[in-house]
Amino acid sequence: MGKGSRRAVTAAHGRPLTGDVRVPGDKSISHRALMMGALAVGRSHVTGLLMGEDVMATAAAMRALGATVTVRGSDVAIDGAGLGALAEPSSPLDFGNAGTGARLTMGLVAGHPIAATFVGDASLSRRPMGRVLEPLREMGATVAARTGDRLPLTLRGPDSLVPIAYTLPVASAQVKSAILLAGLNTPGETTVIEPVPTRDHTERMLAAFGARVRRERTGAGLAITVEGQHPLAPTDVVVPADPSSAAFVVVAALIVPGSEVVVRDVLLNPSRTGLFTTLLEMGADLAVEDERDAGGERIGDVRVRASRLSGVSVPAERTPSMIDEYPVLAVAAAFAEGSTTMAGLSELRVKESDRLAAIARGLEANGVAHEVGEDWLRVAGRGGGAIGRGHVATQLDHRIAMSFLVLGLAADEPVTVDDGAMIETSFPGFVDAMRGLGGEVIVHEGELVA
């Protein structure tokens, strides 16, 4: 499956899922490795890069900005252009479906005296960019964007940015990262204060590339400061397996009776493991084995066995550490005894789709009782009723597609998603990985009409 080939996909209940799997590299770390490699002078190596469409769009953007990116399998060499030396791209940067790629690259471009035009697919063109553009404008960048600060837009960095101290109005690692990346080529100190901690891969990787970055706890939250205009040194990055992709395998193994699966080398950074915490609270038989350090991050093998799950209440404070995992948590909740309540979900409204609405529609299509509010969701556990048989609208959202296919692997009746092509953005090989574990997944030629 790939871009331009819309294909319906069906998943059906078959035998238990068993075996070992390694899901592709972490998407957040992959984007950042390409960007920081492009800013370093000299050659950086990345092992285990996610070869999904989102990350490939970032690789193309880094080439257009003057870096040389050589891909051999999932091992990648980046010859950086150097901090302050990014070139003006001669054509628009097309980020496809990738919010992280687009928003973080806006920070890079703002920090250079160049102009770049950003374009994306229908999903990305609907998503708000103002959250990143507002602080970048405060630093001195100028932007011509479509109404509501949507793509396409053209961003121009001035000769020199002005450092700012910015308190994040939304808990967003993308906004934090865009500002810090802009701060790299800004004289003086640029600070981002996050009242609620978000994934910290940018800070960690900046330190690994030799940037001057520090973290301090303040009354207002965690303050991350980058001292600008210090060159980055080329570095080797090992990309662990993406916990947000592992999530689909883990939930599938929990809800398909008799399953036992090991997911290898999963990133266990605490800013990413909220789903595992929640599943353990629900009674999941889930254990981390061989926990170890790899390339500056904690990783481990996650062993999971089919379990009787109980409904829980997921606190709003946990949202940033599992922001991408709510669709698949909703699927796990459908198979639990009792209801599961999830709070603090307003950010789901501005993901690849209005994810909260897409989850609710998918549950509805499959006969799963639920209630949804502006920023919360309550899923009534199955309690014995038959579920499945749904036709689910993917809405250009890879995580909606994969979540409802996981539901189909355990449901009484098969589940079909209208378009599996978007899965390629983050989890190439998803269908094969599920089949390899014993799952019944059928890719149809073309679309099916419900």
User: Which active-site residues does the annotation give?
Assistant: 324
347 counts as binding ligand S3P under rule CB under 6 A = yes
Please report, for residues 51, 72, 321, the alpha-carbon distance to residue 75 in angstroms, rounded to integers and kept in the order given. Answer: 10, 5, 28
Residue 174 makes contact with ligand S3P by CB under 6 A = yes
179: left (phi over 0), alpha (psi -120 to 50) or beta: alpha
Assess 235 for contact with ligand S3P (CB under 6 A).
Answer: no
Give 142's contacts (C-beta < 8 A, 6+ positions apart).
155, 156, 158
The answer to whether residue 399 forms part of the interface with ligand S3P (CB under 6 A) is no
Residue given tokens 């679309």 in the structure block: 447
Which is nearer to ligand S3P, 33 or 372 (by Cβ)? 33
Q: Which two tokens stand for residue 305?
A: 């066995």
The residue range among 171-179, 265-273, 293-301, 408-416 that interacts with ligand S3P, by the rule CB under 6 A, is 171-179
Do the bridges between strand 297-305 and strand 260-267 make them parallel or antiparallel, or are there none, so unpaired? Answer: antiparallel
Q: List binders of ligand S3P among 200-229 (CB under 6 A).
A: none
User: What's the DSSP call for residue 231?
Assistant: P
By the rule CB under 6 A, 259 interacts with ligand S3P: no
Let me know: does 152 contact 117? Beta carbons within 8 Å. Answer: yes
What type of residue sits at position 266? Answer: V
Query: Binding to ligand S3P by residue 97, rule CB under 6 A?
Result: no
Q: Is 106 in the site for ligand S3P (CB under 6 A)?
A: no
Contact pick of 46, 173, 406, 434 for ligand S3P (by CB under 6 A): 173
**177 or 307: CB nearest ligand S3P:** 177
100 touches ligand S3P by CB under 6 A: yes
Q: Closest distance between ligand S3P and the C-beta of residue 440, in Å?
A: 28
Q: Tell the burial category of 148 from Cβ atoms under 10 Å away from its Cβ (0-12, 13-18, 19+).
A: exposed
228 contacts 187 by C-beta, under 8 angstroms:
yes
Q: Which stretch binds ligand S3P (CB under 6 A): 36-44, 169-177, 368-376, 416-424?
A: 169-177
Applying CB under 6 A, which part among 59-67, 159-167, 172-180, 386-394 lies near ligand S3P? 172-180
199 in contact with ligand S3P (CB under 6 A)? yes
Q: Which of 368, 318, 386 is nearest to 347 (CA)?
A: 318
Minimum distance of ligand S3P from residue 127's CB (angstroms): 9
DSSP letter for 260, please. E
Q: Least separation, in Å, of the C-beta of 86 and ligand S3P?
A: 20
Nearest distance in Å: CB 11, ligand S3P: 23
Question: What tokens does 114 get?
Answer: 């160049």
Residue 323 binds ligand S3P, judged by CB under 6 A:
yes
**Interior/surface letters 154-185, b for 16+ CB within 10 angstroms, e for the rest:** ebbbeeebebbebebebbbbbbbbbbbbbbbb
Q: Which two tokens stand for residue 443?
A: 């890719």
CB of 177 to ligand S3P, least distance (A): 6
**One-character DSSP codes across 312-373:** -EE-GGGGGGGTT-HHHHHHHHHTSBSEEEE---GGGGGSSS-HHHHHHHHHHHTT--EEE-
CB nearer to ligand S3P: give 17 or 29.
29
| Interaction pattern, residues 175-194, with ligand S3P; x per rule: CB under 6 A | --x-----------------
Stretch that binds ligand S3P, among 137-145, 150-158, 167-175, 367-375 (CB under 6 A): 167-175
**From the CB of 242, what's the least distance to ligand S3P, in Å?**
10
Q: Which is nearer to ligand S3P, 201 or 382 (CB)?
A: 201
Q: Does 44 bind ligand S3P (CB under 6 A)?
A: no
Note whether 425 binds ligand S3P by CB under 6 A.
no
Options 16-24, 170-178, 292-300, 328-336: segment touching ligand S3P (CB under 6 A): 170-178
Contacts of 197 (CB under 8 A, 6+ apart): 221, 222, 271, 320
Q: Could you say whether residue 324 binds ligand S3P (CB under 6 A)?
A: yes
Question: Which lies closer to ligand S3P via its Cβ, residue 173 or residue 314?
Answer: 173
* String marking each residue 114-153 x if it binds ligand S3P according to CB under 6 A: ----------------------------------------
Query: Between the CA of residue 239 and those of 78, 120, 412, what are the distances in Å?
Result: 15, 25, 37
Contact 298, 291 (CB under 8 A): yes
Q: Which stretch binds ligand S3P (CB under 6 A): 166-174, 181-189, 361-369, 440-448?
A: 166-174
Choice between 28 and 191, CB closer to ligand S3P:
28
Residue span 7-36 as binding mask against ligand S3P, x where in contact by CB under 6 A, dash where not: ---------------------x--------
Residue 262: Cβ within 10 Å count: 19
Q: Any idea what DSSP says for residue 271?
A: G
CA 299 centroid distance within chain: 17
Cβ atoms of 63 and 255 closer than 8 Å: no
Q: Interface residues with ligand S3P (CB under 6 A)?
A: 28, 100, 172-174, 177, 199, 323-324, 347
